[in-house]
Amino acid sequence: MRRMKLVSVFLLVSLILLGGSVFSEVSEISLEEILKWTSAETNEDPYKRENMEVRGFYRDGEEYEDPQFYYFASSAASSREGDEPVEAVDGFYREGEEEEEYSIFISAFTSAPVDNIKVEAMKVFASTVNTLSGGDIYVRIFHTNNHSPEELLSNVINGTEVMAFDCSLSTIADLLFLPELSIFSAAYLFEDAEHMDKAMESGIMTELLDRVAANSGVRVLDNWYSGSHHLFLNETISGIEDPSQLEGLRLCSSCYQGSFDACKALGASPVYMGQSTLKDAMSCGSIQGAEMLLECVTAEECIDSIKTIILTGHQIESVNPTISEATWKRLSEEQRGWILEALHTARSYMETEVLAHEAGIIGELAQKYGVQVLIPCKDGLLQQAATYYSQNRFSAVWGEDAYVRMHSASEGM
Longest dimension (CA), the chain: 109
Cα distance between residue 276 and residue 280, in whole Å: 9
219 contacts 209 by C-beta, under 8 angstroms: yes
> What pLDDT does residue 169 have?
87
CB 294 within 8 A of CB 230: yes
Give the span between the Cα atoms of 84 and 370, in whole angstroms.
Answer: 43
pLDDT score for 255 = 67
Whole-number Å distance between alpha carbons of 125 and 203: 24
In the prediction, which pLDDT does 236 show? 86
Give CA torsion, residues 132, 137, 141, 146, to 10 deg.
-130
CA atoms within 13 A on the CB side of 352: 9
pLDDT per position as a tens digit, 231-242:
999 888 877 778
**Domain spans of the chain?**
2-43
> Is 70 exceeded by the pLDDT of residue 86?
no
**pLDDT attached to residue 66:** 34
Distance CA 68, CA 98 (A): 16
Strand partners, 322: 164, 220
Residue of 26, 25, 62 lying closest to 47 (CA atoms)? 62
pLDDT of 84 over the 60 cut: no
Query: How far apart, in Å, are the Cα atoms of 292 and each of 82, 105, 232, 275?
Result: 36, 38, 8, 11
Q: Grade residue 303 by pLDDT with cuts at 50, 70 and 90.
A: confident
What are the pLDDT digits (tens) for 254-273?
767 888 899 999 999 888 77
Count Cβ atoms within 10 A of the Cβ of residue 292 and give its class: 0-12 exposed, 13-18 middle, 19 or more buried. buried
Residue 163 or 253, more confident: 163
Most confidently modeled range among 26-30, 78-82, 94-98, 397-401: 397-401
Neighbours of 181 (CB within 10 A): 24
Q: What is the mean pLDDT of residues 292-306?
A: 77
Burial 244-278 (b: 16+ CB within 10 A, else e): ebbeebbbbbbeeebbbbbbbbbbbebbebeeeeb
Listed residue (230, 240, 374, 370) closest to 303, CA to CA: 370
What dihedral do alpha carbons 69, 73, 77, 79 form, nearest 10°?
A: 170
Q: For the packed helices 117-132 and 333-369, what is the interaxial angle rounded to 10 degrees?
A: 150
Note the pLDDT of residue 220: 94
Which tens digit of pLDDT belongs to each residue from 132-183? Answer: 999 899 998 887 767 777 788 888 888 778 888 888 888 888 888 888 888 9
Q: H helices of 224-273, where?
A: 257-265
Q: Distance (Å, rounded) from C-alpha 134 to C-alpha 308?
A: 51
